[in-house]
Amino acid sequence: MPSGTSSSFLAFGMTRLSPSLQSTFGILLICAALARGSLAQVPTEMPEALVARSLIARLGTDADTNPVDTIKALHRYSRDAVPKLIEELRVVDPDKGDSEWNHVVWCERALRSMTGKVFKFRTSERLTSRQQEFLDPGEPMGYFAEWMSRGRVYVAPKDVQRAVIDAWHKWLAQDGSNFNTRQFSWEWDAWYF
């Protein structure tokens, strides 16, 4: 795939877009080039990367009416999506349960679904009363776990969250360019819980 210049973007990507999107992307590229002072050296993302970024931005948010369908769609763009999903991971308040918390949990689910990787670590922190309902401090735990019969998600203590995020970054640096993308699977145990 060509990358790096506006001309390569126009030659490769623009022909795959509708005429109205071609105009919009063309205008955006010209504005970016003018802002940088050079039309010849405009770094661009291919349309696939833009689609992946858009899907990731809404994953698990109030705007995402069906996160499972969003993950399924992300599988088509996994090479572009996986690094961006890893960028989205961050340490959250385990008990907060807000929009950011939900988004990060769904990003971790998407990564598990696409790569088949689940990183688990032991905690040295004391579990909150909510976490004690389901998580076992003596066992390794992933970024989150779900108590299926109750439909409750439990995010791991912050030290485990940090370790999982670090493991994803290490994995990306070592294997991110050559991993085999898994096809979307309804095998929930492999990535959802």
- 79-91 per-position pLDDT tens digit: 889 999 999 999 9
What is the per-residue pLDDT for 46? 56
For the entire predicted model, the pTM comes to 0.73
**Contact of 161 with 92, CB cutoff 8 Å:** yes
What is the per-residue pLDDT for 23? 45
Instruction: Extract long-range pairs of 160-163: CB within 8 Å, 24+ residues apart.
Output: 160/121, 160/122, 160/123, 160/125, 161/91, 161/92, 161/94, 162/91, 163/119, 163/121
What is the per-residue pLDDT for 93? 94
Report d(CA 93, CA 129) in Å as an integer.
13
- 70-129 per-position pLDDT tens digit: 999 999 988 889 999 999 999 999 998 888 999 999 999 999 999 999 999 999 999 999
- 156-193 per-position pLDDT tens digit: 999 999 999 999 999 999 988 888 888 777 776 565 54
What is the per-residue pLDDT for 148? 80
Give the mean model confidence (pLDDT) for residues 6-33: 45
Give Rg (Cα) of the chain.
19
Tokens of 60: 């698990």
Place of tokens 């990183």: 119
**Residues 6+ positions from 62 with CB-CB distance below 8 Å:** 99
What is the per-residue pLDDT for 28? 54
Report d(CA 71, CA 69) in Å as an integer.
5
- 130-153 per-position pLDDT tens digit: 999 989 999 999 999 988 888 889
Looking at residue 157, its amino acid is P
* pLDDT above 60: residue 1: no
**Contact of 84 with 115, CB cutoff 8 Å:** no
Average pLDDT, the chain: 79
Report d(CA 191, CA 159) in Å as an integer.
21
* pLDDT above 50: residue 7: no
